[in-house]
Amino acid sequence: MPVERTDAVGCVPCDMMRGRIPLPGGQIHETPQWLVMHVLGTFGLGALAVVPRRHVVHVADLNDDETAELGGLLARTAAVVTALTDPVQVYTCQWSHTNGEAAHVHFVLQPIRRSDMDRHPGRLGPVLQSAMFTEECKPGPAEVDAFAALARAEFGTATEGENIPS
């Protein structure tokens, strides 16, 4: 029986979750199987990542517990992003590659604001994401810290009375 990897040194999400490299904004929310953190890079302020605690590189390899939590957590995370950013849409996607190789699975929930669409007229979906990525509009550490604090508070209010595992 193959050994299930739960940690991979040199994997950015694994290294952040285990404190080997800094996690901007810190951990925002957690469930038994998943963590929510602010996205690194140029997806803009308010983009959150839903990351399995276990090192897994293919959605097809998620186990039953991870899969059972995922749908509800994606919906809750989108609700938090919506409450804090007032977007036209929250794009939810999974792009997990490093240097052309499959990497630690993570789902990005990116707020798309009217101002994003106005800066890139006629571009939507992956084309808009690509244009925004090219802008290199990376939020600073203080902005990420402030947003993460708001998101932690919003997750706290979002979970009250819900029957979704947290």
Tokens of 108: 């990005």
87-96 exposure pattern, b = at least 16 Cβ within 10 A, e = fewer? bebbbeeeeb
Percent of the chain topping pLDDT 90: 64
Using pLDDT thresholds of 50, 70 and 90, give the confidence band for residue 64. very high
Can you tell me the distance from the alpha carbon of 44 to that of 48, in angstroms, rounded to the nearest whole number? 10
**What's the whole-number average pLDDT of the chain?**
88
Can you tell me the distance from the alpha carbon of 140 to that of 62, in angstroms, rounded to the nearest whole number? 32
64: left (phi over 0), alpha (psi -120 to 50) or beta: alpha
Which one, of 51, 75, 74, 46, lies nearest residue 151 by Cα? Answer: 46
What is the residue whose two structure tokens read 């996205």? 39
Lowest mean pLDDT among 51-65, 81-95, 124-138: 124-138
Are the C-beta atoms of residues 14 and 7 closer than 8 Å to each other? yes
pLDDT for position 160: 42
What is the residue whose two structure tokens read 């979970």? 159
Q: Can you say whether the dihedral through the CA atoms of 79, 80, 82, 86 is positive or negative?
A: positive
Coil, helix or strand for 5? coil
Tell me the mean pLDDT in the region 92-111. 90
**Whole-prediction pTM:** 0.88
